Amino acid sequence: MKRIALFSALVAASLFGASAALACDGDKTETTASAEVPANAQLVTLVVNDATCGSCVVPIREQVTALNGVIDVKGSEENFQWIHVTVTEGKVSTDQLIAAVKKAGYSATVKAAEAPAKS
């Protein structure tokens, strides 16, 4: 009896996993589409003076990514104190970005705001 119950649970889990995998296929298209940089994108470089290591970027990335209009957030590999944020121009202000960094427990200033490099 235990074997039948275990087998039924495995079959149910397999079916649920298959339906979840199918649902994720549709999500991949949306993720790819949203990863494209729109024509009105702007690259903002923030300097986080009180960051002491590369892991400081993690809470900053979480807070900044939560802002509406943020497309991408990357920490510099060479200098973890530089955070490169791609935003939709006009949707996110530099003050909002600095406030998000502050919410993560750090302070920041704006180094530069420019059009992102085309790939």
Question: Is 119 within the bounds of a domain?
Answer: no
Query: What confidence tier does 118 reach under pLDDT thresholds 50, 70, 90?
Result: low
Same domain flag for 30 and 79: no
- Whole-angstrom Cα distance, residue 40 to residue 95? 19
pTM above 0.75, yes or no: no
Note whether 104 and 66 are within 8 A (CB). no
Question: What domain count does the chain have?
Answer: 2
Same domain flag for 7 and 57: no
Same domain flag for 31 and 58: no
Most confidently modeled range among 8-17, 35-44, 51-60, 66-75: 66-75
Residue 113 pLDDT: 67
Same domain flag for 18 and 49: no
Which pair of structure tokens corresponds to residue 94? 């530099």
Range of the domain at 100: 41-114
Same domain flag for 47 and 14: no
Same domain flag for 30 and 52: no
Same domain flag for 17 and 45: no
Which pair of structure tokens corresponds to residue 89? 């121009």
